[in-house]
Structure 1
Amino acid sequence: MDGLELGSRLGLAALVGLVIGLERQLNQHEAGMRTHALVALGAAMFTIAGAYGFADVARTPNVDPARVAAQVASGIGFIGAGMIIRQGPSIRGLTSAATLWLTGALGVAAGAGASLATIIATAIVLVTLVGLRVAKPSVASLSSKIVTIEIQYEQGKGTLRPVLDSLERHHLRVEDLKIRDDTETSLRQVFVTVAGRKLSELDDLTNEMRGWGEVRHVELRRHYDLHD
């Protein structure tokens, strides 16, 4: 492989990394242009080194130079894992980690000389990131959300039935129901997990229950939201 071919492969790898990193950086994500460009360039270098750097041992039994490029995915996986962060009820960094991993794959393809595949895949990545970001509000409104209502109240007051009736009226599906009774305090603790597309009514319901005399505690626990 001559110098021009080498430069074009490495240049393409760095370019696709910069383009994808630009989208991430414009949306205020930690891994931006430099990170993605370096990952793609490094992946391309590993691929080229594996394909051309071991010419003397390529035909030796039990030696496979392609394994060098295969380890790129594992190595980038460690970097991506460090980008996934749990913040309260949210999990952040999943899309960025996947994008970084895919950027490594694009670098491998560029290093292997699959220029057309690299360009097409990059275009698909950009359409996915930008297009689905625009459509995200519409998709979120159609998907079901899951929350758990924790209620603690005095036993024998018939508190649970009105709660379940209210959930049914608002077309919220009960996914799970757990009841714990404390014989010493005569208090009952109920965990109701519900799913539905519109959960805004639950805030009104929980505020209403806080005004009931027999209710000691009400808490609304939202399950994990996934952010890129």
Structure 2
Amino acid sequence: MRRRTFRRTAGAGALAAAALAVSVTGCGIRTTSVPVDAGAAPSRVPCSTATGGATGSPVQGVPVRVFLVCGAQLEAVDRRSPLPEEKAGGDPVRTAGGLLAQLLAEPSESERQAGFTSAVRGPLVVSGGHSGDPAGTLRLSRQPEDLAPTALSQLVCTFAESSAGAGGHTVLLGGPGAYEPKRYRCTTELRERPESAPPTAPASAPATAPTTAPAATATG
């Protein structure tokens, strides 16, 4: 009688252990005797680079600012242009060309580690306006609307926030054809969502949006 009781108890224990294993497996939990190292928690992209050289040597070139992509937004990055200072800021077309070269260049190692990328791809050249274009017009070798939206947003904000812009956070930009240029505006919304189309206005529109006067109240 004791042997039968022991066998029944052992059999019940085995069935309970099997049922527990099935229950754990059914919940989506894999049983393992080996500890699993899931690694460190993902870190947030810093979107900022260290200032100054690591060796302490002075950085050559004229300081310029371009807009790169980081964290699905446009962020300003300070760089050094090899253009001479007297040429970098005096000629808007030359300035735009230097900025375009910076956007076409691969991000530096520190920029890549910080999460920066650029959507601007070549071949792409910038030149002055056509005959009859408003002063300060820049013409790209490709129609602006044919560029990737994020790339166009980078160009608009980089040009508009430099001496190549047309004032009021805008830039007069056109393509190689006979289409009239447009006034592209770099806004906070565009920097936050560079995949959207940049706001435009006719080239003849004022650089700053007119302020709407309050409606007069009738009295009688």
Q: Is the shorter-chain TM-score for this pair beyond 0.5, marking a shared fold?
A: no
TM range (shorter): under 0.3
TM-score (norm 1): 0.26
Larger radius of gyration: 2
TM-score, length-normalised on structure 2?
0.27
RCO higher in structure (CA 8 A, sep ≥6): 1
Name the structure with the higher helix share. Answer: 1
